[in-house]
Structure 1
Amino acid sequence: MKKLTFWGRDEKDERLLVECMLGLKTATCTPKVWCSSSEDVGEVGDEIQVFTKLGQLACKILITEVYDIKFGDIKGEIGEKIARGENSTLDEYIKDHIFSWEKDLLNDGIILDENTLIVVEHFKLIESYIDYNSLGHKVKVF
């Protein structure tokens, strides 16, 4: 079974995991260049174990949709769908992902721009194994 740990601003930031466990976060995405094998991208029907940053199994999700999109094409109806899945507004989604990807991509010699290909995975929560309250994060709902 595939495994996943959500990104965070630091090693204690479990906000995205909490949003997932609350059913608010129903999508995740990553630059395609960081997906080096089929293990890095889910397929529709895949069940994925999601772990805390400390390595504790937190929940299991089911991939419901997967597609590639250029970063510059994340706008309009499809952009709103992705942003909603990320429990965000479209403007915040764009700003947050520039913040979380730009520096690391540049370290890899890649410039994040409108042509950067992104892999988007939509999912639904299947099962939780821990109490999300134990992760200590408050979330906002969009």
Structure 2
Amino acid sequence: MPRLKRLQFWGRDVDDDDLLLQALSGQKTATADLARDWHVPISEYDDGGYMAGDLVEVYDLRNQLRCHIRITEVYETTFGDIPEKLWRAEVCTSAEDFRSGHRVSWSAESLTDDTRIIGCHFELVKIER
């Protein structure tokens, strides 16, 4: 049987599991990435290319399994047109709050309103510990 896809929520640094904690509490129900990187695995614990219906193992930044999520919706949008359902599910107060936080997270990128991103919504299925 093939293994499930894997995901890690990357925070501001290698010790920042705040986004995972938000997902475990049920607050965070979406994530986003640059469209060009969507299908690119980031690490052994982050596969990329998630699709609606996928059951995904979520690991903390120390590579420990923490929960399972089910992907419910995946779509493309632009950095200048963040839908309310995405910024709310990302635990942001507005589209501008979303953009501000992601400018920090994606600081190596030259982000414009036309930068394509992928929104990925999920539901928490099972907490592992």
Could you report, residue by residue, the CA deviation over 1:98-120 in whole angstroms, capped at 9, with x for unpaired residues?
Answer: 111132x2xxxxx2111110011
**By percentage of residues, which structure has more helix?**
1
Q: Does 1:29 align with 2:32?
A: yes
Contact 2:12 2:104 in 1 (8 A): no
**Number of residue-to-residue matches in the alignment:** 120
Q: Does 1:10 align with 2:13?
A: yes
Normalising by structure 2, we get a TM-score of 0.87
Normalising by structure 1, we get a TM-score of 0.79
Letter in 1 for 2:14: E
Instruction: Tell me the percent identity.
Output: 38
Unaligned runs of 5+ in 1: 106-110, 131-142
Q: Does 1:51 align with 2:59?
A: yes
Greater mean deviation of Cα atoms: 88-97 or 117-126: 88-97
What value does the CA root-mean-square deviation take over the aligned residues? 1.4
**What SS class does the counterpart of residue 11 from structure 2 fall into?**
coil
2:101 to 96, 100, 117: 96
Letter in 1 for 2:35: K
**Mapped partners of 2:8, 2:111: distance in 1:** 22
Could you report, residue by residue, the CA deviation over 1:75-128 in whole angstroms, capped at 9, with x for unpaired residues?
Answer: xxx2x211110011113211001111132x2xxxxx211111001100000000
Please state how far the C-alpha of 1:37 moved relative to its aligned partner.
4.9
**Mapped partners of 2:38, 2:88: distance in 1:** 23
Unaligned runs of 5+ in 2: 42-46
Letter in 2 for 1:126: V
Letter in 1 for 2:112: D
